[in-house]
Structure 1
Amino acid sequence: MDKGFFDRTSPEFAARRAEARKLLDSLDPAMQDGAVTADPARQAWFEAVYDLAKGDPARVPWANLAPHPLSQAWVAAQAEGLNGLRILDVGCGLGDNAECFAAAGAHVTAFDFVGEAITWAKQRFPESKVAYAQGDLFALPDAWLQAFDLIHECYTLQALPPDLLLQALAALKSALAPGGRLLIVARAREEAEEFKGPPWPLPPSIFEGAKRQGLTTLSIEDIPAVPGGGSRHWRALLRRAEDA
């Protein structure tokens, strides 16, 4: 297969992604007047994304075949601070973020809602030290509770309907070990800004919601949109309130 097939900067890759996006939007119940009551976590739709992709990463809208730049930069800034830490990567997709943390010396567990995503990640990184697993944020295994020094959440919260956010934050907090921290990378918006998702960029009140779920904010970076492309983002670090 032509190497350009996997070049996410190529016009061909972009064209395949745009074509897939139209189809996936037409299948997404959340795009139909926000109707997600039958499947609030949108599991069936996420499964359809990977099923319809047929091995083409361009057809998975969030698969950029590289770590998210904000996550990657954060990892690089930690020097050796991640070495040996137990890290959970939430909604790992094709594995790029998880591999980035593992390359920094962390012991990484990565999970995704969709089994096909996990299979794909393992195929992409056959020599990986990451423990990949299929899992549900709202039904975490008992072995994961209070088990991780750092949880990395990139684009999972923004993919959930807003009325599930507090439940999701509580689930994330439940997996933090004493002294553990939660790193959130997500698109951002103003509180009063109307936005039809998905995804649903997170408003500033997400951090008040996190506080109510027992998470204390250590830092919040409000990163502006890049002219000509890109979106405004939050990069925030939180920890368990009882460890403050």
Structure 2
Amino acid sequence: MEEYNSRWEKNWKAGPDGDGLKQGQLFDATKSSAALEALIADGSFGLGNLSGKRIFVPGCGRGYDLVTFVKAGAKEVLGLELAPSAVSVANEYIQSQLASQSSQATVIQGDFFTHKDESSQGYDVGYDYTFLCALMPEMRAKWGTSWHRVLRPGGFLVTLIFPVDSEMEQKGPPWPVTPELYKGLLVGKDGLFKLKSLEKVPDEQSHPGRAGKEYMAVWERQA
């Protein structure tokens, strides 16, 4: 686990001991997915009116999606990263993009599996993109229960499922995933979430190199 955690710090850390991840390198796609923007624009599942909503984005990277949610009207967006250097890079980017609104989006260091909402109310919306696929397969078992813990009853979890690729080698990250995997983890025998929508992402809404390998799903957190 220590090796897993340290690889993310090496990715983000600048200087001789790190790679200093730049925009457009590796998993950094330089902007939010057009599929997320389309979902917000569609207005389904309360995403068309984010005013007053609190949103949680683990594995948020540079923070593109936090900026998107704030610009769409969200009251508060919290991002979570394992690597201290990722936190610094993300908060600097958010400040540069949101200026006077930057206080509405923050990235902190932490572990998704132990994270607790300080307000104790639970987040209204969760967003998961390139997060589950970045977890080692043996870490997945608690992913669904952790999402259930941090979201309020009736809250929505938006998952942009990637990479769905049956020919991809099991050498992550990212590790290949399937919609069935998400269903098993979120619905399963306990019914933690209810699937509200599942659609393949149109090729034109995917980042370069990801077309045909993405599904957008929305889940409602059950009591």
What is the TM-score when the length of structure 2 is the normalising length? 0.80
Aligned to 1:187: 162
1:63 maps onto 2:28 in alignment: yes
Distance 2:110 2:199 in 1: 29
Letter of the 1:210 counterpart: L
Aligned length: 202
Change (3 A) 1:135 1:56: same
What root-mean-square deviation, in Å, do the aligned CA atoms of Structure 1 and Structure 2 show? 2.5
1:113 maps onto 2:82 in alignment: yes
Deviations 1:133-191 (A, max 9, x none): 1121011035265510100111100111222222112111111112111000121437x
Determine helix, strand or coil for the equivalent of 1:218: strand
For structure 2, the residue ranges without an aligned partner over 5 or more in a row are: none
Q: Greater relative contact order: 1 or 2 (C-alpha under 8 angstroms, separation 6 or more)? A: 2
> Alignment identity in percent?
23
* Aligned structure 1 segments of 4 or more residues deviating by more than 6 angstroms: none
Change (3 A) 1:136 1:80: same
Aligned residue runs from structure 1 range 1-244, under 5 A: 38-39=1-2, 42-51=4-13, 52-54=18-20, 56-59=22-25, 61-78=26-43, 80-106=48-74, 107-126=76-95, 127=99, 128=102, 129-141=104-116, 143=118, 146-189=121-164, 195-198=169-172, 199-206=174-181, 207-212=183-188, 214-223=192-201, 229-231=209-211, 232-242=213-223
Question: By how many angstroms is 1:208 displaced?
Answer: 2.3
Determine helix, strand or coil for the equivalent of 1:143: coil
- Retained in 2: the 8 A contact 1:146–1:178? no
Question: By how many angstroms is 1:53 displaced?
Answer: 3.1
Letter of the 1:89 counterpart: V
Larger Rg: 1
Change (3 A) 1:69 1:53: farther
Determine helix, strand or coil for the equivalent of 2:32: coil
